């Protein structure tokens, strides 16, 4: 079944048409820099990349261009449903759902929890309903995989009324990625249907780790928002909450200013002074840039510390799983330095396997038979969205 997958961000639209049964991509693409003069639509089909300018167009212009493209490729008529990435589902959505008026109201009610992501996510749904009349739309939530977390993992130690009345609690994100790679790692290790405990680390411009017990999430590093947790490209991750008051008293920053700096000017960018892109930071480190080296040391130490902490939520420790652009492609220093910090837990790498990302070994980069194992799994969030959409559409 061909499914159109859409991920609408604040200034971009990612799209793909995926065969939900085989996982084959018919076409993948991106409308980027929307609302700017240099906005454009890029796509890849049969290994060939093409693009066209959008003339400063917005999301609506980009999605209309996607419709035109799919028609020209002969793909539009075969689409049976549209799957949407929605970042924040709050406590309302613990699974993917067919979109209706009540679901849209629920997504809108989560605007206060996901102010940067949910509005464009909902806009994408509205535009898809207009441009593809009659096709069912499905919302797939980043937070839903973590809905199985127990209270002890998701509650903050704040006044109970803030949780009850405002929904102040930990939700977690990157759920589709954690769900996908956890399943693939359990397959690689022969643990499907058996007791298991693994920690998955999704490392990209945004980073999070999750404790997955018997295939279900029991804890994760992100919280109320995607700012909590690990060091990321431009996000600080965990800081002392009193930092807000300190910066207000000493620099006159209000809460909005502080949150903006913690979200957009911190992380690898803030520490290294080089870039938010891990490739550039690693290159600078190898060239002798001390701040870049420090940024990598902080990144890997904080990641290892989080992984060790997440093991507390498991009954056993079978594996660490690396995924995302950084996790999949950076054997040295990221995977090597992180695992070195975890030696006390029995984590060990095989240098040769790590160097080639576990090729020929089902992604396993630890010595043969070693437990806990270390595994590299390429993520495929779009396939998860396509499969969830196909399953729900098939019930319509």
Quick one: residue 55, left, alpha or beta (phi over 0 = left, psi -120 to 50 = alpha)? left
Per the listing, tokens 């790679």 go with 181
The Cα-based distances of 278 to 163, 221, 293, 304, 328 in angstroms read 36, 20, 11, 17, 12
| Mean pLDDT, residues 50-72 | 94
Q: How far is Cα 240 from Cα 144, in angstroms, rounded to an integer?
A: 27
Question: What percent of the chain is predicted at pLDDT more than 90?
Answer: 96
User: For residue 115, what pLDDT is reported?
Assistant: 85
Kindly report, residue by residue over 320-332, the tens digit of the pLDDT: 999 999 999 999 9
As a whole number, the mean pLDDT across the chain is 96
Per the listing, tokens 């589709």 go with 176
Closest-CA residue to 40 (of 6, 67, 13): 13
358 contacts 365 by C-beta, under 8 angstroms: yes
- pLDDT, greater one: 63 or 396: 63
Kindly report, residue by residue over 331-377, the tens digit of the pLDDT: 999 999 999 999 999 999 999 999 999 999 999 999 999 999 999 99
Per the listing, tokens 């102010």 go with 115
Q: Is 142 a catalytic residue?
A: yes
Kindly report, residue by residue over 222-265, the tens digit of the pLDDT: 999 999 999 999 999 999 999 999 999 999 999 999 999 999 99
Tokens of residue 126, six digits: 């509205």
Kindly report, residue by residue over 158-176, the tens digit of the pLDDT: 999 999 999 999 999 999 9
Strands, sheet with 197-203, edge to edge from the N-terminal-most edge strand:
216-220, 207-213, 197-203, 319-323, 373-376
Question: Is cis: bond before 333, omega within 30 of 0?
Answer: yes
The whole-angstrom distance between residue 204's C-alpha and the CA centroid of its chain comes to: 8
User: For residue 257, what pLDDT is reported?
Assistant: 97
The beta strand positions in 188-318, using DSSP E, are: 197-203, 207-213, 216-220
Kindly report, residue by residue over 292-316, the tens digit of the pLDDT: 999 999 999 999 999 999 999 999 9
The Cα-based distances of 172 to 6, 58, 110, 179, 220 in angstroms read 21, 29, 14, 12, 6
User: For residue 11, what pLDDT is reported?
Assistant: 85
| Mean pLDDT, residues 212-217 | 98
User: For residue 330, what pLDDT is reported?
Assistant: 97
30 - beta bridge partners? 14, 42
DSSP β-ladder status, 79-86 and 207-213: unpaired
User: For residue 114, what pLDDT is reported?
Assistant: 86
Q: pLDDT category, 127, cuts 50, 70, 90?
A: very high
Tokens of residue 1, six digits: 């079944």
Closest-CA residue to 278 (of 228, 238, 223, 338): 338
Of 36-40, 151-155, 198-202, least confident by mean pLDDT is 36-40
Please compute Rg for the chain using Cα positions: 21
* Helical pair 175-188 and 381-393, crossing angle rounded to 10 deg: 100
Of 57-61, 241-245, 272-276, least confident by mean pLDDT is 57-61
Q: pLDDT category, 80, cuts 50, 70, 90?
A: very high
User: For residue 116, what pLDDT is reported?
Assistant: 81
Q: pLDDT category, 9, cuts 50, 70, 90?
A: confident
The beta strand positions in 280-389, using DSSP E, are: 319-323, 373-376
Classify residue 249 by burial, with Cβ atoms within 10 Å: 0-12, 13-18, 19+.
exposed
User: For residue 180, what pLDDT is reported?
Assistant: 98
Q: Which domains does the chain have, with CATH numbers?
A: 2-141 (3.30.420.40), 190-381 (3.30.420.40)
pTM: 0.94
Which residue of the set 2, 142, 318, 388 is catalytic? Answer: 142
Tokens of residue 201, six digits: 């680390």
């Amino acid at each position: 079944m061909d499914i159109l997958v859409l991920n609408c961000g604040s200034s971009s639209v990612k799209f793909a048409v995926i065969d939900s049964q085989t996982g084959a991509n018919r076409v993948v693409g991106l409308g980027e820099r929307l609302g700017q003069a240099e906005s454009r639509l890029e796509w890849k089909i049969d290994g060939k990349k093409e693009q066209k300018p959008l003339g400063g167009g917005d999301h609506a212009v980009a999605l209309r261009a996607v419709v035109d493209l799919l028609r020209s490729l002969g793909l539009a008529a075969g689409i049976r449903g549209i799957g949407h990435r929605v970042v924040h589902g709050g406590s309302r959505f613990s699974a993917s759902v067919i979109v209706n008026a009540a679901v849209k109201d629920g997504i809108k009610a989560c605007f206060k929890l996901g102010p940067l992501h949910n509005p464009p996510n909902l806009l994408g749904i509205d535009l898809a309903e207009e441009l593809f009349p009659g096709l069912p739309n499905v919302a797939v939530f980043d937070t839903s995989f973590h809905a199985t977390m127990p209270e002890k993992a998701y509650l903050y130690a704040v006044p109970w009324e803030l949780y009850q009345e405002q929904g102040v609690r930990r939700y977690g994100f990157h759920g589709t990625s954690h769900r996908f790679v956890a399943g693939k790692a359990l397959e690689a290790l022969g643990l499907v249907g058996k007791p298991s405990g693994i920690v998955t680390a999704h490392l990209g411009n945004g980073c999070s780790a999750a404790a997955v017990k018997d295939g279900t999430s029991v804890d994760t590093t992100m919280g109320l928002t995607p700012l909590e947790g690990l060091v990321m490209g431009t996000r600080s991750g965990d800081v002392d909450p009193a930092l807000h008051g300190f910066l207000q008293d000493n620099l006159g920053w209000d809460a909005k200013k502080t949150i903006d700096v913690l979200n957009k000017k911190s992380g690898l960018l803030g520490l290294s002074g080089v870039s938010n892109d891990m490739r550039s930071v690693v290159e600078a480190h190898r060239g002798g840039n001390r701040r870049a080296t420090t940024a990598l040391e902080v990144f890997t130490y904080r990641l290892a510390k989080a992984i060790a902490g997440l093991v507390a939520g498991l009954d056993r420790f079978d594996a660490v799983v690396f995924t995302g652009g950084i996790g999949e492609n950076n054997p040295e220093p990221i995977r090597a330095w992180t695992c070195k910090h975890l030696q006390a837990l029995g984590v060990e790498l095989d240098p040769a396997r790590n160097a080639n990302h576990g090729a020929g070994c089902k992604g396993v980069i630890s010595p043969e038979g070693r437990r806990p194992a270390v595994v590299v799994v390429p993520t495929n969030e779009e396939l998860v969205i396509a499969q969830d959409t196909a399953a729900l559409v098939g019930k319509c």
